[in-house]
Structure 1
Amino acid sequence: MNKQETYDYLDRAGIRYEVTDHPAVYNMAELEQVSLPYPDRDGKNLFVRDDKKKNFYLITVAGEKRVDLKEFRKVHGLRPLSFASPAQLMERMGLVPGAVTPLGLLQDEDKKITLYLDRFFAGGLIGVHPNDNTATIWLAAEDLVRVIEDHGNPVEWIDI
């Protein structure tokens, strides 16, 4: 699902969103160089897997937050976690590093990747890539959750 297909999907779902186009960014440091309308609402995404390479998770938190994977796994009762490989990212969500986004879950055919979403975003906007790192879209976090859950992926709100 490319950027335009993502916009079309959200339009069909009746989701309101705002688009900020920008040069390609591959990490949060590069994104800091981009002028964003809601810089404190941008999501940072960590695509991780368990030590058996069986279960995959997308952890989306506010951009300035750090995630201690050892602590995270303990709190959520998961097996040891590490970052998924670029090949696993492509296989599971059809994305390349730098374009990771909760909207990539719309390409998870097995609907098994769990989204853990920072409660910081509840009741407000979240900025995510539209399956392409040359834009950020801003939408209500609850709308993002609805789209992901309607697709069939589990979502859990978390405190980081």
Structure 2
Amino acid sequence: MDASSTYQDTLPLSSDALLAQMEDWGLTYRLHTHVPLRTVEDAKAVEDQFMTPGENALRVKNLYLRDKKKRNYLVTLEQSREIDLKALGAELGIGNLSFGSADRLFQNLGIRPGAVSPLAMINGVQNDVRFFMDAAAQQAEVIYMHPLVNDRTVALTRADMMAFFDRIGCAVTWLP
């Protein structure tokens, strides 16, 4: 199974159910469908099809990480930002970080590789996943992210994204 909406019914929470929940909470978003995106390069190839010209937007990449104590982290960064895992672990005071396995990703965030997204914290908060986000999101008007599958992208205003985190009880730690 891949991370596309074709298999969303095999997820603990489907993309359709997530979007319906967001609507019930009064959160607005723009939904875009596209070919499955597995990498930042894939995303850059199609984002001009749905991004609004002149929009103060943040396009993100997401890392599911673990430390030696088996604690789980979701780190969301501006998509072009370079990251050094060793330096990040030291900066956060959590030691060495490594990428989590596909099985742990599914277990802790309820998604498959290629669909990692801040919206997966709807599952992650129940599994003690800590969430870190690039401080650049505090300046963006709109943030683009996957709604648990990689053939859809939603555009959320910063205010609606923060309202989502409040609704699910997700603490955001900002990365400078």
Q: Same fold (TM over 0.5)?
A: yes
Larger helix proportion of the pair: 2
- Provide Cα deviations, 1:48-106, integer angstroms capped at 9, x if missing partner: 010122x1111101111111111111111112100000000000011100010111111
Q: 1:91 to 1:111 in 2, by over 3 A?
A: closer
- 1:36 is displaced (CA, Å) by 3.4
Q: Does 1:32 align with 2:32?
A: no
- Provide Cα deviations, 1:117-158, integer angstroms capped at 9, x if missing partner: 111111421111000101110112342233223312321111
Structure 1 equivalent of residue 175 of structure 2: 158
Q: What are the residue-to-residue correspondences of 1:8-157 with 2, within 5 Å?
A: 8-34=20-46, 35-37=49-51, 41-53=58-70, 55-108=71-124, 110-123=126-139, 124-157=141-174
- 1:10 is displaced (CA, Å) by 0.8
Structure 2 equivalent of residue 3 of structure 1: 15
Q: Contact 1:106 / 1:151 at 8 angstroms: preserved in 2?
A: yes
Q: 1:36 to 1:67 in 2, by over 3 A?
A: farther
Q: Contact 1:111 / 1:151 at 8 angstroms: preserved in 2?
A: no
User: May I ask how many residue pairs the two structures share in their alignment?
Assistant: 158
Which aligned segments of 4 or more residues in structure 1 are displaced greater than 3 angstroms? Answer: none
- Provide Cα deviations, 1:5-38, integer angstroms capped at 9, x if missing partner: 1111111111111111111111111112213315
Provide TM-score, normalisation by structure 1: 0.91
- For structure 1, the 5+ residue unaligned runs are none
Provide TM-score, normalisation by structure 2: 0.83
- 1:41 is displaced (CA, Å) by 1.9
- For structure 2, the 5+ residue unaligned runs are 1-12
**3-state DSSP class of the match of 1:79?**
coil
**3-state DSSP class of the match of 1:33?**
helix
Q: Contact 1:44 / 1:62 at 8 angstroms: preserved in 2?
A: yes
Please give the alpha-carbon distance, in whole angstroms, between the structure 2 residues aligned to 1:41 and 1:29: 15
**3-state DSSP class of the match of 2:45?**
coil
Q: Contact 2:125 / 2:168 at 8 angstroms: preserved in 1?
A: no
Q: Report the more deviating stretch, 78-87 or 139-148.
A: 139-148
Q: Report the more deviating stretch, 79-88 or 118-127.
A: 118-127
The CA RMSD over aligned residues, in Å, is 1.7
Report percent identity of matched pairs. Answer: 27
